[in-house]
Homo-oligomer: A and B are copies of this chain.
Amino acid sequence: MEFDLIHRHFATPFSALAQANGGTVIAGIGDDCAALRPAANHVLYVSTDTLVESVHFFTTDVPAVVGWKSLVSNLSDLAACGANPLGFTLNLSLPHVEEAWLASFSSGLLEAAAQYNCPLVGGDTTSAGTNLLKTISITVFGQAVGTHTGFHRSLARADDEVWVSGTPGLARLGLLLEYQCRGQLDRCCEPSSLQRVEALLGVLPEALKNSACQALQRPLPRLELGQRLHGVARACLDLSDGLSGDLLHITKASNLRAVLSLTALQALWLRKWPELSEHIDADSLLETLVFTTLEGGDDFELCWTCPSGQRAAKVAAGVAQSCVGKLEAGEGVWLMQHQDSEPIRLESRSYVHFSQGLT
């Protein structure tokens, strides 16, 4: 949800409404999920997303991949709240009925639904009128057990460690490879970094390429990890917009600054590509890897903060987890390049819709 636009037009009466409704609403606009408490000991989580053809997915994308990702991106929001899926609704606005597209799209969508026990419970399919692009909206519902009411972004504290699952940025690497295939690498790279990115992609091992394409085309929602973070994490979100951009949400809500460790981020990549350390250009390649992927989203890995020194509370959930930074007094997201150097501030260039209209 684009904050400025939404807050300007839709958010003002929220607190009044939340109160009017018997205090049912615990969290509304602004977190990964809304949280409602319809009954004691029961928290309902809701998340919704719209995907527009050519804006959020390529017209040439395999429809089954679009279907899988449409649901997974919403399931990932539930994961970031530590909630379990209950079901989802689907709204499709279609220029015309394309049986082949629908068959493929639904196969990917329903495969994710089956895999994560999240049944399609309703929806609406309408003609798009003279619109030529498909529009897909999905709303997912989930619940958390007991008294868990989510990991709000404002709950982070100074001295918290910043943890991530998997290798954030891996899907971005997949996207770079896809653009390279299309001969359009310049469309998702700054001109100044184009040459370095081309050099990087030229030496990527096949296994890492496959892993990056997998992360892009078939991301996994970290639902099990989200469950295990109950009682461990303070703030948590999913990396749909990239580490630097998403972490900024936590720092803003908690009035803190995040300092990421370049060494820790490099270690994530070395775990995926151990031979890199022996490469003659290892330092330069690693730097390119970290910087080009810091702002890349669509990973759906989780990022959370927790009190430092509790590494024993680290949770096993079939996915690697790493401490990549810490929170402290201040604002913004920073990167510490060396142990003793001053951190540099990262400007977020996470994907913003309507950027011209809003800024």
Chain A residues proximal to chain B, CB less than 8 Å: 1-2, 5-6, 8-14, 16-18, 20-21, 24-25, 27-29, 33-34, 36, 38-39, 41-42, 44, 46-56, 85-87, 89-94, 96-97, 99, 102-103, 105-106, 109-110, 113-114, 117-133, 135, 137, 139, 141, 143, 353-354, 357-358
> Is the CB–CB distance between B13 and A52 below 8 Å?
no
> Is the CB–CB distance between A96 and B126 below 8 Å?
no
> Is the CB–CB distance between B50 and A121 below 8 Å?
no
Q: Which residues from B are CB-within-8-Å of A128?
A: 52, 55, 131, 133, 135
> Is the CB–CB distance between A44 and B46 below 8 Å?
no
Give this chain's copy count: 2
> Is the CB–CB distance between A6 and B46 below 8 Å?
no
Q: Which residues from B are CB-within-8-Å of A132?
A: 130-131
> Is the CB–CB distance between B47 and A122 below 8 Å?
yes
Cα of A21 to Cα of B47 in the assembled complex, Å: 19
Residue with the highest number of chain B CB atoms closer than 10 Å, among A11, A34, A358: A34
Please name the residue on chain B nearest to A110 by beta carbon. Answer: B13
The 3 closest A-B pairs by CB, nearest first: A34-B121, A17-B119, A97-B357
Q: Which residues from B are CB-within-8-Å of A13?
A: 110, 113-114
> Is the CB–CB distance between A139 and B52 below 8 Å?
no
Known: A46-B121, A354-B97, A357-B97. A34 touches B131 (CB 8 A): no
Residue with the highest number of chain B CB atoms closer than 10 Å, among A1, A99, A103: A1
> Is the CB–CB distance between A21 and B110 below 8 Å?
no
> Is the CB–CB distance between B54 and A130 below 8 Å?
yes
Partner of A126, one of B18, B87, B353: B353
Residue with the highest number of chain B CB atoms closer than 10 Å, among A18, A42, A91: A91
Q: Which residues from B are CB-within-8-Å of A86?
A: 21, 24, 36, 38, 44
